[in-house]
Structure 1
Amino acid sequence: MPSSMPNTNLKPEIATSYEFGTDIKLFDGRLGFDATYYKTQNKNQILNVAVSPLTGYTSTTINAGNVENYGVELGMNITPIKTQDLVWNMDINFTKQQSKLVALVDGIDRVDFGGGTDMGSFTRVGGIIGDLYAPYVKKVEEGEYKGWNLLDANGRWDVDRTKENQKKVGNSNNDFALGFNTSVTYKNFTLSASLDWRQGGDFFSESMKRMARSGKIESWNNGISTSTFTGVLNANSFNGDRAALANEIKTNPIYRDNNVWVGGRNQELGGFDYNGNYNGAFFPGVIDNGDGTYTENFGAEGTQFFDAYRVVESSGSFWRTGETFMYDASFVKLRDITLSYKFSNKVAKYISAENISLSVYAKNIMLWTKADIGIDPETAYDGGSQGFEKWNLTPWTIPMGLKLNVSF
């Protein structure tokens, strides 16, 4: 039995596209420019949506709405050197695009594109395709403590996990992409390389989230600050003066504007005295007293401590807050380098071939990432995923090979 319920009223998509461009060649083709602006509108967008199991199906296909896609593409080709024996070519390509959800049919308020634990990629009307949403820590909205995280009576973050109220924490699409290809040919030898730069975009790392729960990330073991954990301020800060610690936290916006924790997993790493053990930690914020007043939780007397290991327990608020494990997806990747040799036509004719070439190549030569967590951001976009990465802590590999190309 099929899992998708047939829809006899399904209409075809209607795509309207506008494109403007120019192509300029100068100096006998040694310098070229091309530019394109495009806008596409897709009406009667066909999407799969979930249906009640009582129907006997799990999904159906509907005409859901209207999506606009627009962008710009720029290209430049340069041949700085062109002689009988030596030719150097360079190609640079720039792209920037965005897709906006303009309308949806009645009864549907958003389109889901997948997600991870306590995370989701969905778009509401007026939103941009690729928007990422996550549960968030409630904050004080006005008054003296405006902007501070709200804590429950136990000093844990007060997290709103209601899917309808999830907070936008990023977008999986890059701000722009830049590609660079170059080749240098000297007589029968050609050396070529390609490099990609992706700027911006965000991704959620399930791998980092799981490692945090297992206490296996670097900052958890030695107290070094990263974009995910702070843990630098602890019981040893300010020579153990908790009043000074509380004043630093209260007056420094970095602790208000970021989801951080203070303390350590043992005495050496600055754990506070908690039930006779030096493994105490706390979340900076305020506890709502229910009468319009708040109790400070900044490290001074009365602070609510808990076992530091509970910072990342699977049922804890730190674990449930997806924005804690969001990262910048920017990267620069040297994708490949190839050195090839083209044999003369005389050699090719010995086997009645048109061309023979021999190449040695290497791929994935270099990767730089803004996130700097040992994970390739591109893995967050494999298999149609929208900015979600999971189980990609594999060793960096550089494939190398030898290729013989014969054409007849």
Structure 2
Amino acid sequence: MADFFEIDILPVETKKSGDALALRYRLDGLTWVHVVDGGYQSTGPAVVEHIAKYYDGATYIDNVVVTHPDGDHAGGLRTVLEECEVGTLWMLRPWLYAAEIIDRFTRFSSVENLERRLREVYPNLVALEEIAIRKGIPIEDPFQGTTIGHFHVLAPTKARYLDLVVASERTPESVKEAEETALTKVGSFFEATAARLVNLVKAAWGEESFSTQETSAENEMSVVQYAELLGERIVLTGDAGRAGLAEAADYAPLVGLQLPGVDRFQVPHHASRRNVSTELLDRWLGPRLATQPARGEEKFTAFISSALEDPDHPRDSVVRALIHRGARVIATEGVGKRTGHNAPRRDGWVAATPLAYPEANEE
């Protein structure tokens, strides 16, 4: 069999979007299976079934990566760990660093109590840790500079990750935030409400509009991965926000990724307007083109995990911005999608129809 790679963007179908990616690649006669997130708990069985059906009955997964602790990414991996043989679980566990950050909290003087609290607020990670320990699966930290199979971790650094643990609304009040917590929570409520009241405004080619709000601390914890497989550059972003994407871009040249220029790009956070900006997309994908490429002449593939019943994702503004840079944009929207190179043929699978160019931006 010739060398190849395939990336499956599996459907996570609830009223809210989630992420579940399965990858298989063969290089120099050796094959790796690499799973990144597993959607909600209800998605887990479908991930296992997909791998068994389309990856030649595989039950061994070389690497399982938890990009961040949210349930729409980590939940389904419980089934994956339980039912498959896994080489390594890659996951960041905040309680391991309680001793390093305890001085930044007002409510705790005991490392043990802080560890306990961090376990309470990140139950998805605790559940995965318990399964891994019971089954003897090694757990490694995917900080910047780590290599996972043929993938390089571009972000987060340990220092930024610890800052995010302290800043998270889930964790106990930090010294810096203690006096502002009440105002922050009230503000978050009104911001969340306003986010559902977005209007669409017709816009000309090239015009872009993104939210001024930032994504959550948990999303910013996302592990960003990069690999060059068979001459194609692949970037997997999880739900990384602007800070995470900037940190990853800063590090990219150190592992041979000269930006701009990506061939397969996972659009972060189901194509939310809070995770990207014009400047960041220019940096990663290149400047806006003068005109839209003709069908079949796109410069790269951008893929989005978005549930059919989710009214908030993908955002038209983000889809527009990707197409401005020459992307062929595909989204799950109830149906699994695959992108790859030299990938084995699958009966019943047909070419995905890319998303059309939206004529309007969200305000």
Instruction: State the TM bucket, normalised to the shorter chain.
Output: under 0.3
The two structures have a TM-score, normalised by structure 2, of: 0.22
Which structure has more RCO (C-alpha within 8 Å, separation ≥ 6)?
2
More strand by share: 1
